[in-house]
Amino acid sequence: MATDFFERQDIARRNTGRLVLLFVLAVLAIMVSIYLLLAVTMGYLSRDPETGAIDWSLTGDLQLVGIAVVGTLVVVGGGTLFKIAQLRAGGRVIADELGGRRLNPDTSVPAERQLLNVVEEMAIASGTPAPPVYLLDEEEGINAFAAGFTINDAVIGVTRGAVERLPRDELQGVIAHEFSHILNGDMCLNIRLIGLLNGILIIGILGYFMFRVSAFSSYRQRRSSRDSSPLALLALGAGLMAVGFLGTFFGNLIKAGVSRQREFLADASAVQFTRQPAGIAGALKRIGGFLNGSTVQSPNAPEASHMFFGQATSGLSGLSATHPPLAERIRQLEPSWNGQFAEGVPRTGSASAPHPSAAGVAGLAGAEAVNGAAAQSVTSAVDHIGQPNTAHLHYAAGLLDELPTAIIDASREPYGARALIYALLIDRRTEARKVQLAHLSRAADPGVCKETLKLLPLIEQLNARVRLPLVDITLSALRALTDAQYQQFKQNIVELVEADRTIDLFEWSLQRILLHDLEVQRFCATPGRVRYRKLYRLQPHYELLLSTLAYTGHRNEAAAREAFEQAKRLVALPQARFRQAEECGLEAVDAALTVLEEAAPRVKRQVLQAAAACIAADRKVTIAEAELLRAISASLGCPMPPLLSM
């Protein structure tokens, strides 16, 4: 593709900036319109009683200007902020409003189980937490959506029609399309579009109510009085209604234009992900040949229409359509398409996902330390951020097949998910193990503690390479914890990690990924503002991060310094200095990442490229070092796919 993950993130932020600019211009136009309406109305009410001439002197009244400006800001700004605050909890609010039912991760219904398997494979392959999946039970149309502010609070919704009528390869294409929206930064833009349009719509709604009240009042007073004030208010209400609804109309045109552009990009990203144009093209053909198409019947569908895979509302075409024409999308994927749509009949079977060979699944699993090709895999890992490919998808499918059924089942419900995380942290050394198990027996839920002991032998037999993917799978179930359960779980993790008075790389990586995701999701954190657009402004934090990585991966100071220098040459920051060992450590990395999170996407790319080069400088990469790189990447909001040996 012409752009990578970081460039697409920059484009999404620029689109948000343009959207805000257009919104400001729209609000200014509304202010002028309301001011003119007020001036005409007040002039009509103050007209000369003898001649009936309108008093135009009020058009220069600054008090009237102030009323128009303040009133518009209060109504439009308040409506926008209210809607965005209403959606602050993330994608699950939108899914609920559309009539979605969250699927139980351990469901045994075949169609639902297949959908969850496809989503899990996509999540592992892309290096993202597995998002909760919602099924729109009442929707017969073939459609899907992704919603949320960030990767960590994203959800995926799928209609009943899509689940029942799409074979597996087409369903996989649709889900890959939605994951592309998650990775491309489209979701946050989509939610802000809903908020901005709601603010403008409030003007029209207020005008409508004023019109109705004035019409009723005018009817009553015409029978008993010659007072024409209600007629003036009636005209004002009609004017406000026209301003609000015209503003909403043009706002919808902006929404449609932004949405159509992003749909083509998501289609192309999905093909890159699956390497199966026929999958997503087949789903589009099936929509075209199905009576219900992609229509969504929910009354809340219009405001979220730009979030869907296909055109969710009927009657929209041309400039007002939120999606490109089906035929145009299909021909982008299959230039030789004959123009025939597929029948939207229920599927009779499901195409199985291709599975990799054992060597393809192994990735970095062969040994505790690997070199050569694996080091090359690490240095190229940044190029795959937000751009997983078929190899990653095959890896994910093979990994899920390899894991014992008991572990997979446990990862899909809150009790088992907590037990799996505890088991991953249990030390194999006798003394530390005793301390950890004693703590769990005192502080953990008895049922979870029992499940931990049951799963522990299975966890200890697992290859180290599956640890972080297993954490990603459990996140969906862990998000369902109550506040009390979460606080207990969080405290237990801290105690297990600190039981031996030291924190190793895996413990830090697990804690960082797990708690970062759950904290963002639980406290409804929205994307932060970019504060740093140049790397030199972050030099102290960059130095601490890279110096710590250099010491972590190399046995002596000379080798660590050489690794730092190699990484420094990649980012053209010649003044960066190598820090002393006593200044470095995982606590320093925590502090540095907190600041680096506020960097622009292209700066994050530079940091991650340097981090990867630093780790791979000696051509030897341990699994723990690879996990560390993925944890750093996830902390910066850059999901890194599994590191495959090339």
What is the structure's pLDDT at 353? 43
Please write the tens of the pLDDT for every residue from 317-375.
556 778 888 899 999 889 888 888 886 555 554 444 444 443 333 333 333 445 555 56
Burial 165-177 (b: 16+ CB within 10 A, else e): bbbbbbbbbbbbb
Collapsing DSSP to helix, strand or coil, 616 comes out as: coil
What is the structure's pLDDT at 319? 62
* Least reliable range by pLDDT among 246-255, 290-299, 303-312: 246-255
**For residue 13, is pLDDT > 80?**
no
Nearest to 494 by CA among 95, 622, 486, 632: 486
**For residue 2, is pLDDT > 60?**
no
Residues catalogued as catalytic: 178
**Cα–Cα distance for residue pair 619/562, rounded to 1 Å:** 13
What is the structure's pLDDT at 16? 65
The whole-number average pLDDT for the span 461-485 is 89
pTM over 0.85: no
Nearest to 105 by CA among 134, 127, 126: 134
Q: What is the mean pLDDT of the chain?
A: 83
Please write the tens of the pLDDT for every residue from 542-562.
999 999 999 887 668 899 999
What is the structure's pLDDT at 43? 72
265 and 8 Cβ atoms separated by less than 8 Å: yes
pLDDT band of 243, cuts 50, 70, 90: confident
What is the structure's pLDDT at 204? 77
What is the structure's pLDDT at 344? 58
**For residue 82, is pLDDT > 60?**
yes
What is the structure's pLDDT at 362? 36
pLDDT band of 113, cuts 50, 70, 90: very high
Percent of the chain past pLDDT 90, that is, above it, reads 33
What is the structure's pLDDT at 365? 34
Residue 620 pairs in a beta bridge with 371
What is the structure's pLDDT at 102? 93
* Least reliable range by pLDDT among 94-103, 116-125, 268-277, 519-528: 519-528
